[in-house]
Amino acid sequence: MAAKYLRNQTWWLRFYHPRTRGLIRESLGTSDEARAELLRQRVELEAALLDPRFQAAAIPENLRVALGGAPIAASLEDANETAVVATAVPPAPAIPMASVVPPKRVMLDEALRGYFDFIRTDNAARHVENKLSMLRRFLGTNRTEQFVQNDDAAARTRRLKNAVEGFFAGTFVDELTPSLLQDFFTQLEVSVKTKRHYREFFHHFFEHCINFGLLRPENYHCPNPTAALPTYLSRNRRIVFLDQDQIDAELRVLEPHPALRIAVAIMIHAGLRRAETLWLTRDALSPDLSFLSVVNRVDHETDLESSLKTGERTVTILPSLRPLLKEYLTGLRGRWLIPSSTGSRWHGDAFGKRLRAINALAGQKWTCLHYRHTYATRRAAEGWPLFRIAKEMGNSAAVVEEYYAGFIHPHSIATAV
């Protein structure tokens, strides 16, 4: 629907392009409201004809002949009022509209190169690497190397050594249809949550292509191909957490590994995410061990920044965690609170792999997410307000309510009040 408005005594037109959905604001070049209204109607009709639904509906031959044999203009010439209007308002000049001729096809590699250059301005290096990792599963390791801006020869050697074959071998952006993406997601042997991350990556890529004119949507109602795919939202997910006996057993299993043990204790008793825990330094702890600070930090050895998911915050160190920290700090050397065997910062995947191996030997299957669930459910059962739990965990109150409200004990709330 086109709308006209007056600006500096000149009429302008505002409407959305029926294909790209981009907002168009252009001057009609007239101060005459009657003429501006006719131009508005003309543009509205022209724009409507660009809708793929109308282009796919050919007018039957009998109707075309009927319209051609009885021109509307000829029937209006006999009407005096129409003749007066036609004299007063000259025929509207043709307004250039987007051509219906298909544009030049855009190379996928060229579009991806521009996309990664674009996101590097606002994304931390590790977030860009996550997107590259997803792209490797789609295009293959060798083809994805051209988008990597990492001069680390050792890292490149590792990637090529563990090279994977790509799912898609096409050339152009417009070959990425919803059905092709659906087939790709179906064959991925990953969790529903991970498929959602893949969907978000492709959705953002297509939005970039549409905004920069690299993709011409074929479906007016669904310009972004990923909009036709499932949302991959997990519903009614089961919350897994540890009870007190299981917490004690887990900490006993990890006694020979002090760094891993204190990391698990922090996730259980402070609710930190794995990445937040591994980025903690010694000075993150207050002198009296009453709280710890989760802030952005830089690893100067690898020139990486922590890039926190939900921003900086302070977290209360509970009485259950304080004696464990006191005992651990007496033997700590170096900057990092959870150092690796070489004294450097633990990489998240390496930490997780090591922890799973130790737990597997003891017959345990706990993960870092289970530890975080344990913190939330125990605080809810103790009657903590949902807002305080959210603040300590770095979540929104809505997320905490969605997942943990069912663990609140009414008796605990009454006692707390």
Q: For residues 221 and 111, which has the higher predicted lDDT (pLDDT)?
A: 111
Interval 309-355: pLDDT, tens: 777 899 999 999 999 999 999 989 889 999 998 889 998 889 999 99
At 235 the pLDDT is 66
Of the residues 88, 120, 151, the one at which a domain ends: 88
Q: Say yes or no: 218 and 268 in one domain.
A: no
At 72 the pLDDT is 37
Residue (of 311, 322, 331) closest to 269 by Cα position: 322
Q: Is 97 domain-assigned?
A: no
Residue 248 predicted with pLDDT over 70: yes
Q: Say yes or no: 148 and 175 in one domain.
A: yes
Q: For residues 71 and 402, which has the higher predicted lDDT (pLDDT)?
A: 402
Name the pTM for this structure. Answer: 0.59
Q: Is 270 domain-assigned?
A: yes
pLDDT above 90 coverage of the chain, percent = 47
pLDDT band at 247 (very low <50, low <70, confident <90, very high): very high
| Parent domain of 216 | 108-228
Q: Say yes or no: 224 and 255 in one domain.
A: no
Question: Residue 355 half-sphere exposure, CB side, CA atoms within 13 Å?
Answer: 25
Interval 23-36: pLDDT, tens: 888 898 888 888 88
Q: Say yes or no: 294 and 406 in one domain.
A: yes
Largest CA distance in the chain: 103
Of the residues 228, 261, 296, the one at which a domain ends: 228
Domain of residue 263, CATH code: 1.10.443.10
Q: Say yes or no: 410 and 326 in one domain.
A: yes
Interval 373-413: pLDDT, tens: 999 999 999 989 889 999 999 998 888 888 888 887 665 44
DSSP code string of 62-124:
HHHHHHHHS-HHHHHTT-HHHHHHHHHSPPPPPPP----SPPPPPBHHHHHHHHHHHHTTTS-
At 50 the pLDDT is 78
Q: Say yes or no: 201 and 273 in one domain.
A: no
Look up residue 325 and give its amino acid. L
Q: Is 384 domain-assigned?
A: yes
d(CA 310, CA 302): 23
Q: Say yes or no: 264 and 396 in one domain.
A: yes
Q: Say yes or no: 408 and 347 in one domain.
A: yes
Q: Is 278 domain-assigned?
A: yes
DSSP code string of 144-173:
HGGG-----HHHHHHHHHT--B-S----BG
Q: Is 403 domain-assigned?
A: yes
Q: Is 103 domain-assigned?
A: no
pLDDT band at 150 (very low <50, low <70, confident <90, very high): confident
Q: Say yes or no: 42 and 132 in one domain.
A: no
Of the residues 60, 88, 116, the one at which a domain ends: 88
Q: Is 101 domain-assigned?
A: no
Residue 237 predicted with pLDDT over 80: no
At 270 the pLDDT is 96
Q: Say yes or no: 402 and 347 in one domain.
A: yes
How many independent structural domains does the chain possess?
3
Mean pLDDT of all residues in the chain?
Answer: 84
pLDDT band at 151 (very low <50, low <70, confident <90, very high): low
Residue 160 predicted with pLDDT over 90: no
Residue (of 76, 89, 96) closest to 35 by Cα position: 89
Residue (of 270, 268, 241) closest to 393 by Cα position: 270
Q: Say yes or no: 392 and 251 in one domain.
A: yes
At 218 the pLDDT is 72
Residue 22 predicted with pLDDT over 60: yes
Q: Say yes or no: 145 and 203 in one domain.
A: yes
Q: Is 61 domain-assigned?
A: yes
